[in-house]
Amino acid sequence: MEFRLSAEQELFKRMIREYCEKNVEPRSREMDDKEDGIPDEIIKGLADLGVFGIVIPEKYGGSAPEGEEMAYANIAVQELGRAEMSMALPVYTLLCLGWGFLIAKYGTEQLKEEVLPRVAAGEYFTGIATTEPGGGSDIANIQTSGVYKDGKFIVNGEKVYISGVLEAIEQREGGHITLIRTDPGAGHRGFTFIFIPAKLPGISYSVYEDIGRMALSTGGLAYKDVEVPEHYVLGEVNRGFYLNMEGFNLARILVSAACVGMAEKALEISRDYVKQRVLFGRPLAKFEGISFEIADDHAKLEQVKLYLQYTAWAADTIYKEPGFITQRELSRMVSICKMIAPKLGAEIAQRCMTHLGAFSYTKECSLGRGLRGILSYVVGAEGGYHIQKLIIAREFIGDEAVPYR
Angle at 126 between CA 192 and CA 189, to 5 degrees: 15
Helix (H) or strand (E) holding 97: helix 88-106
How far apart CA 161 and CA 380 sit, in angstroms, is 9
Distance in Å, CB of 168 to other proteins, minimum:
24
How far apart CA 283 and CA 263 sit, in angstroms, is 23
CA torsion sign for 189, 193, 199, 204 is positive
Phi and psi at 86, nearest 5°, equal -70, -15
Distance in Å, CB of 58 to other proteins, minimum:
7
Distance in Å, CB of 163 to other proteins, minimum:
24
When the beta carbons of 20 and 160 are compared against other proteins, the nearer one is 20
When the beta carbons of 15 and 147 are compared against other proteins, the nearer one is 15
Distances (CA, A) of 313 to 12, 306, 316: 17, 11, 5
Distance in Å, CB of 98 to other proteins, minimum:
17
Distance in Å, CB of 65 to other proteins, minimum:
6
When the beta carbons of 55 and 391 are compared against other proteins, the nearer one is 55
Strands (DSSP E) contained in 167-272 are 173-181, 191-197, 203-207, 218-229, 233-234
When the beta carbons of 37 and 90 are compared against other proteins, the nearer one is 90
Rounded to the nearest angstrom, the gap between the alpha carbon of residue 285 and the centroid of all alpha carbons in its chain is 34
DSSP code string of 340-386: HHHHHHHHHHHHHHHHHGGGGGSTTSSHHHHHHHHHHHHHSSSS-HH
Phi and psi at 177, nearest 5°, equal -80, 130
When the beta carbons of 11 and 402 are compared against other proteins, the nearer one is 11
Distance in Å, CB of 53 to other proteins, minimum:
7
How far apart CA 150 and CA 173 sit, in angstroms, is 26
When the beta carbons of 11 and 306 are compared against other proteins, the nearer one is 11
When the beta carbons of 17 and 355 are compared against other proteins, the nearer one is 17
Distance in Å, CB of 17 to other proteins, minimum:
10
Contact residues for other proteins (CB under 8 A)? 7-8, 10-12, 14-15, 18-19, 48-51, 53-54, 58, 63, 65, 72
